[in-house]
Structures are given as structure tokens and as C-alpha cells.
Structure 1
Amino acid sequence: MTPLRLAVIIGREGRTGDRIGRWFVDRARRRDGLAVTVVDLVDHDLAGSRPAEPTPAMRSFVAQVARAEAFVVVTAEYNHSFPGSLKQAIDHAYDEWQAKPVGFVSYGCGSIGQHAVDQLRTVFTALHAVTMRDVVGVDLLDGEPAPPAADRCERAADVLLDQLRWWGLALRDGRAARPYVS
């Protein structure tokens, strides 16, 4: 069976997301049946506003979203939501998200980023994506080691990867059998 193409999107706000994202990517790459790529927003110079024509960075980001069959979004929580730069990046694609599963690795102080995930679920539902029920939440107040090696985080990552693989394969088969209607 062809491995499921999983893109791990790391937000650009601060570099805590980079550390947590790399931990998750390392864990995902140990799983059979997944081809994991990293889409780090720090590597994409995405425009702050919508230009008349997409920039090369915008086209590159959209192409990476189009190639992926499943996603994990690594996000911080700021003011009970997710970073504006992440919303901006998500909005550069539309059809490319449709009928694909999205999981979340979130982090915050006390809330483990749950408010950010709640907001992202609404955004991805509007884009016709399927969000996973379970998340990996890292509480920065726990003093968890870097990378988050706590058993709780490792178990949550395994559950999320299992769910993403199941949904990713089911939706890939569905898209192959019939085009998604939005």
C-alpha cells in the first residue's frame, strides 16, 4: 500500500512550536505507512495581505497542501485562539484542504492550547476538512522536558497518528472513487 502523505504544519509564532513539532515529526516518522513532510511556516514568506497574484511562496505552500493527504497542525494558543500567521497561511489554500483529515498538536500555559484547537476546528470545518477528536496537548506550565517526552504526550501522539492514518486512508479511497462535492 502506498504510504499516506502526512504534512506537519508548524506555525511561525515563536520557536517553541518548532521544538514540539520536531518531536512530533520524529515520532511520526517511526510509524509504518506514513510519508511525513514538514511544512514550517518560517520557511514561507507569506504575504500579510492578499496580493493581486499569488507569490511564489504562496504557490509553494498551496502545492504542499495539495500533495498532502493528511495534516497535523502544531499551534500555540494566544488569547484563547491560534496565531494570526497560521490563519493567514490556512487561508491561502481552499480546495486543497477538502476531504482530508486534520489533527492538532497544541501547546499553551495551563490550557494545553485547547482554545486554539477549538477555533481551528471551526476553520477547518468551513474548509470541508475532517478534524480528529483526540489531540496532543502540551502544557508549558508542567515543565515537561524538551521535547515533550511525558508518557501522556507520547500516548496521545500514538492515538492521533492511528486516527489520522485510518481517516487518511478512508478519505483517500473516497476521493479516488468519486470527486468530493463542496
Structure 2
Amino acid sequence: MNRALRIIFSRYGIVVIILILVLGVIALASQRAQTPLDGGNSSNRGSTSEASSEAFTEDDGLATENCEGDDCYPEEELPQEAVDQSVEFAEAWLNPNGYGPDGWYDSIIPFLTEDQAELLQGVDPSEVPATEITGAPVPDGLKVAFPMDTGTLTLTMTEGSNNLTGTGWLVSAIDWEQS
């Protein structure tokens, strides 16, 4: 008995045990690949299995066989309503009325997703690194870039809702690049 335990718990015994486990997993996986998608119930060949089969082969239009890199997915374009909302936010973000932290936060919160609003809570508006928008907004996908006097403000827009404005286009991320 001691000899059998020594063999099993030796490094060679452990290697054999691991090899058996790996081969068992491979055998189960290959058998699962041969099982029909309806859970092995091949007698139920109705419209459900045909619909499932069609759903797996139907082209969704997002990728092609020769697709590489970022060209695989269609570029989303923001509607004018989203760009307008981003302009209103950028103007409020600059704090032209000279609000204190609470007033500034109250002026920008209607434009923000709840997550972004939490991130900006308690921010001092005197820390905003710009004072004016110097060019037209530049939409690119779901982002809108604003050239400013000291850099570029980039806002990521998303369609959603918050507690103040209901459903519409909101700022979900703010990025600042110093020039």
C-alpha cells in the first residue's frame, strides 16, 4: 500500500493523473461539439430549431470575412441633437457665469450621465483648464471635440437618461488634452 501511494504521489504519478484529466476534458469537449444545438433533443425538429439555425447563419452586417482592425464595424454618427447638447455642456463647463462649486455643478448636471455626475461632484470650477471655445465642434463617431484656448475638450455622448432631464443625449465621458 505504501509503495502504491508513493508512486501515485510522486511527480510521475501526478503527471499521469493530470494527463488523464486533460484527455477526459478533451474527450468531453469533442463529444459536446458533436451534440446538436437543441440540447441533444434531435427528435424535436420543428420551427424552433430551424429559427435557431437561421439566427446563427444570418449576416448581421457588422463584420466581413476579410475584415481587419477598426474597419470591421460601422462608424456611428451623432445626430445634430447630440452635438447641440455637447455644445451646451461645453459652454456650461467653462463656467461663464462665475458660479461657485455648487452652482457650477447644478448647471452641468442636466447634461451628464449619472456615473459622470458622480465623478464631477465636488469639483472646483476654478480648476477648469480653459476659458473659451475657439472653434466649431468636431464630431467623430460618438465623440465631439472642442478646440479651446488652452487645449481640446473631447466629450463622449451617449443616449440615455438621468434624474433631471429624462431621455436624451448625455455626456458619458470628458477628456481634456492640453495644447
Same fold (TM over 0.5): no
- Rg (Cα) greater in structure: 2
Q: What TM-score bracket applies, with the shorter chain setting the length? A: under 0.3
